[in-house]
């Protein structure tokens, strides 16, 4: 069996990260998390309790799913910022608050003047 020779030059340049591609993937992840989070929030806010499953259980599951999706979006934004220096622009400035707080809270935050 023949062995493959590798040179130190080949080893040194074996992997070059594609920052643009990684940033694009993280942006797609953040956009997907944004859509899923909006869907969970809407379903929770408009759930009418008509199901053969316990309504409290349905709402608990929606909240749990939403928390996972929010974290995915926040992590995607953090990864994008680490690679590019800026957020994905999918949700606000990509801060934890932009992902983890409710849309109603964020709307109030935007309308009220800062006290700092």
Contact status, residue 88 vs residue 77, Cβ threshold 8 Å: yes
Q: Could you list the pLDDT tens digit for every one of the 116 residues in the chain?
A: 444 444 555 556 666 778 888 888 888 888 888 888 888 887 777 777 776 778 888 888 888 888 888 888 888 888 888 888 887 878 878 888 888 888 888 888 778 766 65
Q: Based on the structure, what is the number of domains in the chain? A: 1
Query: Residue 4: inside a domain, yes or no?
Result: no
Nearest to 28 by CA among 63, 79, 101: 79
| In a domain? residue 9 | no
Residue whose entry in the numeric block shows the structure tokens 């979006």:
73
Check: pTM over 0.85? Answer yes or no: no
Contact 84, 19 (CB under 8 A): yes
- What pLDDT is stored for residue 11 in this prediction? 57
**70 in a domain, yes or no?**
yes
Domain with 45, as residue range(s), is: 19-111
Enter the tokens of residue 76.
């995607």
Query: Would you say residue 8 lies in a domain?
Result: no
Answer yes or no: is 105 within a domain.
yes
In a domain? residue 12 = no
């Amino acid at each position: 069996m023949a062995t493959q020779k590798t040179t130190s030059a080949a080893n040194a340049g074996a992997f070059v990260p594609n920052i643009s591609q990684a940033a694009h993937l993280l942006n797609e992840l953040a956009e997907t998390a944004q859509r899923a989070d909006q869907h969970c929030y809407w379903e929770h806010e408009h759930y009418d309790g008509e199901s053969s499953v316990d309504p409290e259980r349905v709402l608990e599951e929606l909240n749990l799913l939403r928390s996972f999706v929010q974290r995915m979006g926040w992590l995607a934004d953090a990864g994008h910022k680490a690679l590019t220096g800026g957020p994905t622009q999918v949700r606000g400035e990509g801060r934890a608050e932009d992902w983890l707080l409710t849309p109603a809270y964020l709307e109030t935050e935007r309308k009220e003047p800062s006290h700092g």
